[in-house]
């Protein structure tokens, strides 16, 4: 059993130990959950969990397994995992921007305490909301649109929506980071960027003179590195 699973809000995230380290990938939920159970070492979830997986004799990772202090019981396991791994790797206080279905900003102080955060709609969720709440704008699927971040002022509706939502998300990350930097004694030394939209947001943050540490698969690396799992150091 060398596979790990995080059930997200829109996709299932997988990782397995290989000769090159940790191999990560993403997919839709399988039709038959029982077919994946024999390879599973551990799993966690923020999205809907199939009853068959709940009944399986495979370890479910919860907040109690994440070695951070002051974790509130309502915190999503994905936020706890990425916050812990970034803090562990950095050795100092961090702000982690997880850009997935939701944009979650999680702050961990230098002593490894959860220090709050922010949550807003991610890029794909913004696009769906625009299509659902307006009469003229289309309902768009967000799947790596080409050219959406290259034009600062697009001339088509679709590209204007893609670029506008990307820029709004990047602006939220930048504003949170600058707010912390303006606070005396905030103790946050590095911005980490992860999640499905991380690579698309990184150039926009660089354009704003931010230098995030890009780690698209941080949550799966965190799962693998947990002491109770032990696939990574």
Active site residue 78: yes
Pick the catalytic residue: 32, 65, 78, 217?
78
Query: Secondary structure of the chain in the HEC alphabet?
Result: CCEEEEECCCCEEEEEEECCEEEEEEECCCCCHHHCHHHEEEEEECCCCCHHHHCCCCEECCHHHCCCECCCCCCCHHHHHHHHHHHHHHCCEEEEEEECCEEEEEEECCCCEEEEEEEEECHHHHHHHHHHHCCCCCCCCCCCCCCCCCCCCCCCHHHHHHHHHHHHHHHHHHHHHHHHHCCCCCCEEEEEEECCCHHHHHHHHHHCCCCCEECCCHHHHHHHHCCCCCCCC
How far is residue 127's CA from residue 138's CA, in Å, rounded to a whole number?
Answer: 9
Q: Which two tokens stand for residue 187?
A: 């103790």
CB 169 within 8 A of CB 99: yes
User: What is the phi/psi pair of residue 55, to 5°?
Assistant: -85, -10
Q: How far apart are CA 118 and CA 183, in angstroms?
A: 16
Which residues carry out catalysis? 78
């Amino acid at each position: 059993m060398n596979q790990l699973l995080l059930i997200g809000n829109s996709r299932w995230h997988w990782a397995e130990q290989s000769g090159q380290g940790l191999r990560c990938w993403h997919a839709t939920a399988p039709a038959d959950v029982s077919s994946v159970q024999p390879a599973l070492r551990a799993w966690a979830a923020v999205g809907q969990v199939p009853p068959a997986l709940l009944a399986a004799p495979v370890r479910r990772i919860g907040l109690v397994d994440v070695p951070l202090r002051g974790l509130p019981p309502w915190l999503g396991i994905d936020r706890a995992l990425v916050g812990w791994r970034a803090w562990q790797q950095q050795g100092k206080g961090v702000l982690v921007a997880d850009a997935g279905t939701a944009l979650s900003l999680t702050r961990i102080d230098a002593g490894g305490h959860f220090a709050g955060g922010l949550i807003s709609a991610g890029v794909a969720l913004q696009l769906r909301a625009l299509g659902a709440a307006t009469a003229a704008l289309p309902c768009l699927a967000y799947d790596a649109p080409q050219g959406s971040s290259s034009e600062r002022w697009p001339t088509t509706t679709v590209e204007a929506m893609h670029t506008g939502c990307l820029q709004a998300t990047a602006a939220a990350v930048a504003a949170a980071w600058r707010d912390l930097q303006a606070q005396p004694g905030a103790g946050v030394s590095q911005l980490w960027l992860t999640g499905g939209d991380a690579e698309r947001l990184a150039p926009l943050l660089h354009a704003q003179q931010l230098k995030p540490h890009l780690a698209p698969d941080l949550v799966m690396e965190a799962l693998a590195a947990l002491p109770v799992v032990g696939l990574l150091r």
